[in-house]
Structure 1
Amino acid sequence: MTEVRGLSLWFDQLDDRELVVREPLDGDTQADVVIVGAGLTGLWTAYYLLEADPSLDVLLVEQVVAGFGASGRAGGWCSAQLPVSGDALARAHGWEAAVAMRAAMRDAVVEVGGAAAAELIDCGFAYGGTVTLARNRPQLERVASEVSAGLAFGDEATMLDADAVRAHVRADGVLGAAYSADCARLQPARLVRGLVDVVLARGARLAEGTRAMRLSPRAVVTDHGTVRARYVVRATEAWSTQLPGSRRSVAPVYSLMIATAPLPDHVWDEIGLGQAETFTDARHLLVYGQRTTDGRLAFGGRGAPYHLGSAIRPSFDTDALVSEHLRRELVELFPVLRDVEVTHRWGGPIGVPRDWHPSVGLDEDGIAWAGGYVGDGIATSNLAGRTLADLLTDADTALTRLPWVGHRSPEWEPEPVRWAGITAARRAAVIADRTESRTGRTSRLAPVLDALLGGSDGS
């Protein structure tokens, strides 16, 4: 419990009852399914497995505590966004498959809210939608283009002029925005820890403080014993790079956040977000924010350096320069926050596959996996958990036929090429944003960034 206090605002908001830590694995054991990683992917998989077959013996092993990874540090968006665009999905898998994938993501947002309500998990789920701001002409053009493209896949975003945006959020210098209802605000650590209680009540086992050293068919070797099981599920996201055989499967790229002190009502009157909307803008180097359940503004973004060799260390979870940059960007959006105290600074790695395409699957040898969410993981992990449950129980459903099932992303390049490419892309995004802000014209680097991001829509 001491180790995770300070991990994020979300963990600091938990009380001692919500942070009861389970014992490590006590020697060798057996299970029907062993899930490595007790974040949202692992917990949703256990939840739906036990819903499908309550007799299953499901064991989750987690190296620190449930939610220690991205699930407990996220921005708190339960969003239908995917890091890969509908057009890119259609090019790779066909039009109908792309439409089905987009529909499944919209449904996943509803499913998370429904499951939280049904299980009485008080995670602050609020269906406020998301506002994508445009603060210069190139951003406005990108937002309009993405809205138009999304309509073809059933997404129902709406363009707003500057006056209409103010009904949602009152940021400085806004020319227009897109509004999508397919997003909810929530407190991610409370969702995680609530799911822990639910799956344990259903009969699952959880070994915290248990590090997986090696995954192989029908067995997981940990630092506290070996688990033998019919199925092994890898739900480790960015930490997959720490496992033998998976070191180049994703790149652990850091996303950092800050949070203000609770804001008085008169400040919120100037900012808006009265319906728990989330917000971002259309810059290349992503930022994102939400109004928290206790009246803070939590704001995050990319921009932290990628570390050579896909290194993951606690010292990387904060970066003074990036935190100060986030504060400046926040004040630029909302000048009323100029003198407000920032009380929390945190971050962590997200898993980025080489083609920005998330995936889920089950190999013939009994090893299953899900991940590569690029930070859009709260709703996507729910869809992954339902899909894995169907695959592991041999159910032929619409979920098992979605195009991300069995998708194989190419491996990242070896070092130092990997470091050079990711660092160059980050710097190019910074330059492109500055150029567009200064000139009001689309940067010549924009097409290059689109190629580097694998067809991403920028989410």
Structure 2
Amino acid sequence: MGAPVTVPRGVPLWSDQVPARVPSDPLDGDTETDVVVVGAGLTGLWTAYYLLEADPSLDVLLVEAHEAGFGASGRNGGWCSALLPVSGDELAHRHGRDSARAMRAAMRDTVVEVGGVAAAEQIDCGFAFGGTVTLARNRPQLERVAEGVAADARWEDESHLLDAEAVAEHVRATDVIGGSYTPDCARIQPLQLVRGLLEVVLSRGARLVEGTRALRLSPRAVVTDHGIVRARWVVRATEAWSAQLPGYRRDVAPVYSHMVATEPLPPEVWAEIGLDRAQTFTDARNLIVYGQRTTDDRLAFGGRGAPYHLGSSIEPAYDQVRSAAVHLERALVDLFPVLEHAEVTHHWGGPLGVPRDWHPSVGLDVETGIAWAGGYVGDGVSLTNLAGRTLADLLTGADSELVRLPWVGHRSPAWEPEPVRWAGITAARRATAWADRTESRTGHPSRLSDLVNHVLGR
């Protein structure tokens, strides 16, 4: 391992691991199609994949403002998990126990589905069914882990409460007093999944126009900066960028997440850390962190906590916040002191879409022809696949179990207008960080975390 660098590369590690591709041409004037999908991230690509599987004769046009996989799909932490931002208990409260049980089963099945498609289509995305280990490093965290394992049992999710010695069989971090393990997660290289899916759908007849910004979604049409697309069905697959579309500006709040990645680590370092079966890992702090051992033996580590920007603003400059990188580097060394002198080669970030009630949704308005999916709150690698399958069934009229899942047709309340929205999200972020510091210092649960969850509707 070399000496630390001052400034890591400001691009996702994932983009440095795939060959450059020549972007598709922008839209060339007005056109017509059967289905226009706005957004060529994983939601859009999975939707095209399953639509063409159901009906190969369909003309499917993907419209992308930047390039395929530009957003969270190509920047995320590489967890394909059964996680949902809304708990099974909350699903039961909102939709009933049977619906909650069906949604939890669908999420577990989705992880398997993604791996199956990757294998069948020969998409080399590093898919490895290593599961997730959650660390508890103080008593409040251990209590949350135990509560989570008990909740998983209520919804037939497999998870196991571990003591410190059992956690060390997966990963060896400092100050661990216990934890949990679930097998329902796979490590992936997300941009390779995007590229593989893109190649498949284009080979099956889908069309892609890049550098084409959607300005407005209308019934049976999308107005872009390069022409109008008329279609029977319009699919909004814009996730955090929905906040920039007229009529959807308060549907989601674009909240930033950041990541760092180390240089490739030698075997003796991995012997101290573990993760030898491609397990993903997190801990039970309130302000989420997440990590994985990459296919080339780096440690990629991310977390929430970057500022929310007034007016749901999204700018390239927000992807680079040096204080966020420093915070992640310190947290990483705190977990794994052996990394103190490891070089951090990459730092990147980007927005994810958070609905007011943290409840993802998918649906179709038959009268207008506008379908949608999103609000994944960072759990989109798997949810995008479930969304794509569900949208394909909704658009083709298939009477499947998927179209009866409780997230279908869900409408989240709108976020508050500014500046109330900014003030609330900023206060919640600061309170969450304060709760973690308090719990670490005192060893007692912070009441602030419960208050934040109540205010945010979690």
> Normalization by structure 2: what TM-score?
0.97
Contact 2:11 2:346 in 1 (8 A): no
Aligned to 1:435: 438
Q: Which amino acid aligns with 2:300?
A: A
SS in 1 for 2:387: helix
Is 2:390 the counterpart of 1:390? no
Aligned to 1:160: 162
Q: Work out which of the residue numbers 77, 96, 99 in structure 1 matches 2:98.
A: 96
Aligned to 1:151: 153
SS in 1 for 2:223: strand
Q: Work out which of the residue numbers 7, 11, 16 in structure 2 matches 1:12.
A: 16
Aligned to 1:295: 297
Q: Which amino acid aligns with 1:413?
A: E
Contact 1:353 1:409 in 2 (8 A): yes
SS in 2 for 1:351: strand
1:355 & 1:304 partners in 2: Cα distance? 20
Q: How many equivalent pairs are there? A: 449
Matches within 5 A, 1:45-444: 45-364=47-366, 365-444=368-447
1:165 & 1:447 partners in 2: Cα distance? 27
SS in 1 for 2:29: coil
2:455 & 2:301 partners in 1: Cα distance? 25
1:449 & 1:146 partners in 2: Cα distance? 18
Shift of 1:89: 0.4
2:457 & 2:276 partners in 1: Cα distance? 35
2:48 & 2:22 partners in 1: Cα distance? 19
Contact 1:6 1:12 in 2 (8 A): no
Aligned to 2:4: none
1:276 & 1:188 partners in 2: Cα distance? 15
1:7 & 1:197 partners in 2: Cα distance? 23
CA RMSD in angstroms comes to: 0.8
Contact 1:84 1:454 in 2 (8 A): no
> Normalization by structure 1: what TM-score?
0.97
2:212 & 2:11 partners in 1: Cα distance? 18
Query: Which has the higher mean CA deviation after the structures are superposed, 111-120 or 5-14?
Result: 5-14
Contact 2:256 2:306 in 1 (8 A): yes
SS in 2 for 1:220: strand
Contact 2:10 2:320 in 1 (8 A): no
Is 2:443 the counterpart of 1:445? no
TM-superposition CA deviations, 1:379-423 (whole Å, max 9, x none):
000000000000000111100000000000000000000000000
1:404 & 1:454 partners in 2: Cα distance? 16
Contact 1:134 1:282 in 2 (8 A): yes
Q: Which amino acid aligns with 2:436?
A: D
Aligned to 1:21: 23
Shift of 1:318: 1.4
1:402 & 1:454 partners in 2: Cα distance? 21
Contact 1:220 1:227 in 2 (8 A): yes
Structure 1: state its 5+ residue gaps: none
Between the aligned residues of both structures, percent identity stands at: 74
2:23 & 2:267 partners in 1: Cα distance? 36
TM-superposition CA deviations, 1:35-86 (whole Å, max 9, x none):
0000000000000000000000000000010000000000000010000001
Contact 2:62 2:209 in 1 (8 A): yes
SS in 1 for 2:212: coil
1:218 & 1:446 partners in 2: Cα distance? 44
1:182 & 1:151 partners in 2: Cα distance? 14
Shift of 1:6: 5.2
Shift of 1:453: 3.9
TM-superposition CA deviations, 1:137-192 (whole Å, max 9, x none):
00000000011011111101001100011110001110111100000000000000
Query: Which has the higher mean CA deviation after the structures are superposed, 351-360 or 22-31?
Result: 22-31
2:153 & 2:53 partners in 1: Cα distance? 34
Structure 2: state its 5+ residue gaps: 1-8
1:24 & 1:254 partners in 2: Cα distance? 28
2:17 & 2:444 partners in 1: Cα distance? 43
Contact 2:174 2:335 in 1 (8 A): yes
2:356 & 2:456 partners in 1: Cα distance? 8
Q: Which amino acid aligns with 2:202?
A: L
1:270 & 1:20 partners in 2: Cα distance? 41
Contact 1:78 1:378 in 2 (8 A): yes
Q: Which amino acid aligns with 2:55?
A: D
Aligned to 2:3: none
Give 4+ residue runs of structure 1 displaced > 4 Å after superposition.
none
SS in 2 for 1:445: helix
